[in-house]
Amino acid sequence: MKEKKKRSNHLIRIRKLLLVISILMLVLAGIVYVTNQPPQLYINPNGDDLLFYTAKSNMLTMYNPRTNEKQALMPRPDTWQVSFDGQIAFQGADKTNITVADVESVGQKQAIIASSYDEIRIISWSPEGHYLLYGSGEDRFSFNRIYVWDGEESFDLTPREFISSEDNSENSYLDAVIWSDKEQLAFVYTKTVGDYKLHRIYIWDGEQTIDITPEALQAPINTNGTGRYERGISTYIGNIQWSSKQHIAFELSYTDDEGVNESQHSAFVWDGQTVHTLGDVNNQGWSAEGQLMVSYGYNNLPWDRAIPKNNQSHFVKRWDGETYENGQPHLEIIPELDIDDTTYYAFKWAYGNTILYLSDKQENSSQRHQYLWDGENLRYFDWRDDNLFGKYWHFNERGEGLGIESLDPTRGDITRFTTTYLYLHDPNNNPITTINGYRVAWSKDGYISFCPPSDLISIYNGYEVIVLEDFIGGDSQWQSGGRIWCSITG
């Protein structure tokens, strides 16, 4: 009897032990399961960014990705934009005036801004919503006037020399409009007179308009092309970028004397007082702290700035935004970006003060290596195959990256007609997810809007894709500014 009881107790202890082991295994499995979960996109749980789009009811609709709620606002206008602080400006019924209202009470008109005689063609809010720029013209390629409204009255910013002639012998148009984060405005006008083009770039600081056109561009450019700044059939001022210090960098782009499609870019920087020439560049851009990075091609440089390094044909230099040498911005070569066997440099600011850096093609390959450089350390990030036209990376301010890769080598652009994938990575380059789609816009709260193959605007919320089935096509815009166009053909 005692022997039976001992055996029974022994079996009970074994069962308990097995139960404990089973529980431990489940716990460990759970830990492994959790730690093996892919990292998720950061989403602000208290976010208030909203998406605006046109529904099949032809109503401009407001969508809250946090609550998944929709609200129809008004019949869709042809031209509209929402400000960061929640105002909407839209084209009036006769298309020659603008109505401004709060998105929460869009039926109650707050203001009607009168235009001139021509149709409104452009609407652009300043970052904080204190100013509204709008332009009018006979068609979408020609702007006879541009104005800024301050909430009470409008100011005509159109330069006198760019008012188009009545007989259209002098055709003026607006090339670019760029707001700074401090709500200063840069804008570019171009006039075509016969075989000549006249370019001007202006700054409006809230009180006055300043012409900052470099002296080298003051004279009209002969589009047939002879001489230093007369190189081709197509010229324009572009790649205009404001810095956090309210400096501005821009480029004159042009083709060569023979009209070859490959563009050259002459860069300039305005420091608030003076315009400085930086020479011919591959590309340039500001960091979050106001440092200017410039990628140079040795063969394009003016001789007084040609400083070859290790017999390489391209190199990168940096200006801290403050230091000058002989009255010019002091540009220093960055030795950390001197990578073995690299003969081509191109970059863009990824986020904050980190740049994405592209090397030359690898030997006997169409692949290029991509690196991230944070100002001190350079680390390998990814590769890109030129034959696939990808991956092209976009980053948000937290360092989450979205790579767009097209798998159609026959096209040079990324559209819905190609097989295109969106690769989402966290700041440590860990994959989060892959989505089939094209064109993307980040919300300030972390959501991503994109165009899938169906062209029904969709939202990735960190866990799943939400398809807005009632989308009819056209523009969509986050209140924080991000905007994309998805075209529905069926």
Do 112 and 186 have their domain in common?
Answer: no
Report the distance separating Cα 313 and Cα 170, nearest Å. Answer: 42
Residue 296 lies in a domain: yes
Do 176 and 278 have their domain in common?
Answer: yes
Contacts 24+ apart (CB under 8 A), 388-394: 389/413, 389/414, 389/418, 390/414, 390/420, 390/421, 391/423, 393/350, 393/356, 394/440, 394/442
Between vectors from CA 80 to CA 484 and to CA 168, what angle results, nearest 5°? 100
Do 214 and 328 have their domain in common?
Answer: yes
With beta carbons less than 8 A apart as the criterion, state whether 332 and 315 touch: no
Strand partners, 178: 186
Do 126 and 180 have their domain in common?
Answer: no
Do 325 and 442 have their domain in common?
Answer: no
Do 124 and 203 have their domain in common?
Answer: no
Residue 165 lies in a domain: no
The whole-number pLDDT of residue 31 equals 38
In the chain, the amino acid numbered 435 is I
Do 404 and 450 have their domain in common?
Answer: yes
Residue 368 lies in a domain: no
CATH of the domain at 84: 2.120.10.30
Last residue of a domain, one of 333, 353, 379: 333
Domain range for residue 201? 172-333
* 458-460 β-sheet, strand order: 438-442, 448-451, 458-460, 465-467
Residue 102 lies in a domain: yes
With beta carbons less than 8 A apart as the criterion, state whether 167 and 204 touch: no
The whole-number pLDDT of residue 106 equals 67
Residue 380 lies in a domain: no
Report the distance separating Cα 184 and Cα 179, nearest Å. Answer: 6
- Both tokens of residue 358? 């592209």
Residue 7 lies in a domain: no
With beta carbons less than 8 A apart as the criterion, state whether 458 and 447 touch: no
**Residue 309 preceded by cis peptide, ω within 30:** no
Phi, then psi, of 470 in degrees rounded to 5: -90, 5
DSSP annotation string for 334-374: -GGG--TT----EEEEEETTEEEEEEEEPTTSSEEEEEEE-
Residue 306 lies in a domain: yes
Phi, then psi, of 191 in degrees rounded to 5: -125, 135
The whole-number pLDDT of residue 12 equals 60
- Both tokens of residue 247? 């400096």
Do 81 and 182 have their domain in common?
Answer: no
Report the distance separating Cα 223 and Cα 197, nearest Å. Answer: 7
DSSP annotation string for 417-463: TS-EEEEEE-TT--EEEEEE-EEEEE-TTS-EEEE-TT---EEE-SS
Strand partners, 325: 328
Torsion of CA 417, 420, 422, 423, to 10 degrees: -170
Number of domains the chain is built from: 3
Q: pLDDT tens, position by position, for the chain (490 residues)?
A: 545 555 556 556 666 565 656 555 544 444 333 334 444 678 888 889 999 999 999 999 999 999 999 999 988 888 899 999 999 998 877 777 888 888 877 666 667 776 656 778 788 999 999 999 988 776 555 556 789 999 888 888 988 877 765 555 467 778 889 999 999 999 998 877 666 677 889 999 999 999 998 876 766 555 544 333 444 345 678 889 999 999 999 988 765 444 444 456 788 999 999 999 888 787 788 988 899 988 876 444 333 333 333 444 567 888 999 999 999 999 988 877 765 555 445 667 777 777 776 665 556 666 777 778 887 888 877 776 655 545 667 788 878 887 776 554 443 333 334 457 788 888 777 888 888 887 889 999 999 999 888 889 999 998 889 999 999 988 999 999 999 998 765 4
pTM over 0.85: no
Report the distance separating Cα 223 and Cα 208, nearest Å. Answer: 32
Report the distance separating Cα 357 and Cα 373, nearest Å. Answer: 7
Do 405 and 309 have their domain in common?
Answer: no
Torsion of CA 52, 57, 133, 289, to 10 degrees: 20
Do 121 and 180 have their domain in common?
Answer: no
With beta carbons less than 8 A apart as the criterion, state whether 199 and 213 touch: yes
The whole-number pLDDT of residue 36 equals 42
Residue with tokens 């129809």: 72
Report the distance separating Cα 314 and Cα 307, nearest Å. Answer: 10
User: Which residues are within 8 A (CB) of 356 and not within 5 positions of it... i.e. 6 or more apart?
Assistant: 347, 348, 349, 350, 370, 371, 372, 381, 393, 395
Last residue of a domain, one of 106, 126, 158: 158
Do 62 and 95 have their domain in common?
Answer: yes
Do 188 and 327 have their domain in common?
Answer: yes
Residue 35 lies in a domain: no
| Cα separations in angstroms, 48 against 64, 66, 68, 106, 416 | 8, 8, 12, 18, 30
Residue with tokens 């460990």: 28
Q: Which among 92, 83, 141 has a CA at the least distance from the CA of 114?
A: 92
Last residue of a domain, one of 129, 158, 187: 158
- Both tokens of residue 212? 């900052």
